[in-house]
Amino acid sequence: MYMAEKTSYEFEAVPQEVDFTLRMTVPALVGAVLDTAGVDARRKGFGIDELNKENVSWVLSRMAIEIDERPRQYASYRIETWVNEFNRMLTTRNFTLHDAEGRTFGRAVTQWCVIDLEARRAVDLTELAARCADKIVDAPSPAEKPRKLAAIAPTCCREHRVVYSDIDFNRHVNTLRYIDMMFDMLPYDRYVADRPLRLDVHFLHECGYGQLLGVGCEERESATLFEISCEGTAAVRASLVWK
């Protein structure tokens, strides 16, 4: 059986993506990873443009990203990506991030489902998996898959009304805005540090324009836990571990 190869995309850390440490922000790196997923899926013929024709679309269910070091402004870097798993409900897309010298400075594992755009319900992937069989790459995920995340006991909380700049083409809060909301809760000295980190995120429920979100945060010894709720329902859970 023909097996596909990993695909590679080139990037540059542009001024709009760096913070005052002159290194790319973690949310910007997550953005580059998710953009790569979209571009690669489209290039391989199973992007949202193709899926939308059948009134279904990709939705990110869980992600884990490990970042050892953030690229400096104007640095070139490369993201390698491959899909290595397709089951009835989820597909797994993997990423490794490499600097200009070829050193790996990050790894990500993402799990996606396909939802019916009318019913907003996950659809069975069996048929799509068959169509995509020759796009699967026989290589293991580069990091532990997204971990289980339980409810949290928030020690701080902010409210946020969903506005136009938060939403995507589906009128739901953009994935990256959730990442921003969580990083915005951190104490200032965390932004200065360039310590290796691992971020696990679960997307549980879609939030829409005008809804009131609660962004909760619980500091534990080894991790910062987040839960974003939307009018009483847990919408996003995350864990940020600094190594």
* List of residues contacting its own copies (CB under 8 A): 14-16, 18-20, 22, 25, 27, 31, 35, 38, 48-49, 73-74, 163-165, 167-171, 174, 176, 180-181, 183-184, 186, 188, 191, 209
DSSP conformational letter for 200: E
C-beta of 38 vs 138, nearer to its own copies: 38
Nearest alpha-carbon partner for 146 in 203, 97, 105, 103: 203
Q: How far is the CB of 237 from its own copies (least distance, A)?
A: 19
Q: How far is the CB of 238 from its own copies (least distance, A)?
A: 15
Question: In the beta sheet, which residues pair with residue 214?
Answer: 159, 229
126, 43 contact by CB (below 8 A): no
For 200, residues 6+ apart whose C-beta sits below 8 A from its C-beta are 62, 63, 64, 146, 147, 149, 238, 239
C-beta of 8 vs 174, nearer to its own copies: 174
DSSP conformational letter for 148: P
C-beta of 25 vs 110, nearer to its own copies: 25
* Angle at the Cα of 146 from the Cα atoms of 144 and 148, rounded to 5 degrees: 115
C-beta of 112 vs 142, nearer to its own copies: 112
Q: How far is the CB of 140 from its own copies (least distance, A)?
A: 29
Q: How far is the CB of 34 from its own copies (least distance, A)?
A: 8
Q: How many Å apart are CA 186 and CA 217, to the nearest integer?
A: 9
Q: How far is the CB of 27 from its own copies (least distance, A)?
A: 7
C-beta of 64 vs 182, nearer to its own copies: 182
C-beta of 107 vs 177, nearer to its own copies: 177
Q: How far is the CB of 184 from its own copies (least distance, A)?
A: 4
* Angle at the Cα of 121 from the Cα atoms of 115 and 125, rounded to 5 degrees: 50
Q: How many Å apart are CA 207 and CA 181, to the nearest integer?
A: 13
